[in-house]
Copies of this chain bind each other. A is one copy, B any other.
Amino acid sequence: MTTTQVTLIQIDNYGPWTVTPEPRREMDLQTLQSRLFADIAQFVGHRDAYVFFTRFDNMIAVTNGVDGAAHAALQESIGNRYPVSISLGTAVAERPVDALEAANGRLQFEGSAQDEGRTEVLAGEYLAETTPGDLQIAHFDVVDTTGKYTDRINEFDTFINIEQAYASLMRNLRETHGALSFFVGGDNIISVCPDLPERAFADAVAHVEDDVDVELQVGIGRGESAHEAGFAAKHALEDCRRDGTSVELFGPRAVSD
């Protein structure tokens, strides 16, 4: 069984800020957003957690092992260095989507994302301890993107293909299993999953191939932190590459069918 701690990170009252007193230059907004994400990635990454950029104004993190004090430190540090502040809601559940739902609810309960009085909320429950195997992470990747797309067609059309594969996979795993899947650049998708057997991943790969005709391979790992599970998944993906297989579970910690 998995135990997933999810944190929702929301920029406070960001929409109004982007157009006050008049619209801000788009490249400044892009810079602000991507650096904020990078800073959060460094912060949580050094605690073996993962964060995904999602919509940039709302980011989703998998934070097993990161306690309330660390969340408070992150919030303070961003407040000290950016023109915007962030709210953080955290919750724990077996299925990632349920953890997110609860984390998100804690912020929604305090007021609207665009309520200027609702800033720097810090609400949550944090796992008191971590256990090996709390997390299951799958790292999906498109087989031979370079040969089939990048070197052949224009980047936008390549992107449409990758994007379709992502859209198909994210919805399938969300509906079927309550997993949360994120595009992480290139041709890579990372899924934070509940306890799923190998067959579930083979089904997902088949679903995407049927649906949008893009061929995926996937490595799956378990661990007590997002990094540990994700790193095992990366190694398993290397096994796919080496052996030409499409689904690989990593070592002894992987769930059995």
A124: CB under 8 A from chain B?
no
Contact call A15/B186, Cβ cutoff below 8 A = yes
> Would you call A68 an interface residue if the criterion is a C-beta within 8 Å of the partner chain's C-beta atoms?
no
Find out whether the CB atom of B231 lies under 8 angstroms from the CB atom of A23.
yes
Contact of A31 among B42, B170, B174, B190 (CB under 8 A): B42
A234 proximal to B (CB < 8 A): yes
List the B side residues contacting A44 at CB < 8 Å: 27
Which single member of B15, B28, B227, B231 contacts A146 (CB below 8 Å)? B15
Q: Count of chain A residues with Cβ under 8 Å from any Cβ of B?
A: 87
Nearest to A241 among chain B residues (CB) is B19
Q: Which residues from chain B contact A156 at a C-beta distance below 8 Å?
A: 54, 60, 97, 100, 174, 180
A154 to B60, CA, bound (A): 10
Contact of A45 among B27, B56, B150, B164 (CB under 8 A): B27
Chain B, residue nearest A155 (CB): B58
Is residue A158 contacting chain B, with contact meaning CB distance below 8 A?
A: yes
A8: B residues at CB distance < 8 A: 155
B-chain residues with CB within 8 Å of residue A43 when the two chains form the complex: 42, 46
Query: Please, which residues of chain B bring their CB within 8 A of the CB of A163?
Result: 167, 170
Grouping DSSP codes into helix (H, G, I), strand (E, B) and loop, the A interface class, with mixed when no group exceeds half, is helix
- In the complex, how many angstroms separate the beta carbon of A116 from the nearest chain B beta carbon? 12
Q: How distant is the Cα of A25 from the Cα of B24 in the complex, in angstroms?
A: 29
Q: For the complex formed, measure the closest distance between the CB of A20 and the CB atoms of chain B, giving whole angstroms.
A: 11
Contacting chain B: which of A107-115, A126-134, A194-202, A203-211? Answer: A107-115
Which of A34, A167, A227 has the largest count of B CB atoms less than 10 A from its CB? A34
Shortest beta-carbon contacts, A-B, top 7? A27-B45, A56-B185, A23-B234, A28-B80, A34-B34, A34-B38, A101-B154
- A sample of 6 inter-chain contacts (CB < 8 A) reads A26-B45, A27-B49, A81-B82, A100-B155, A113-B151, A160-B174
User: Which residues of A are in contact with B by a Cβ distance under 8 Å?
Assistant: 8, 14-15, 18-19, 22-35, 37-39, 41-46, 49-51, 53-58, 60, 70, 73-74, 76-77, 80-83, 97, 100-101, 104-105, 108, 112-114, 146-147, 150-152, 154-160, 162-164, 167, 170-171, 174, 180, 184-187, 190, 227, 230-231, 234-235, 238
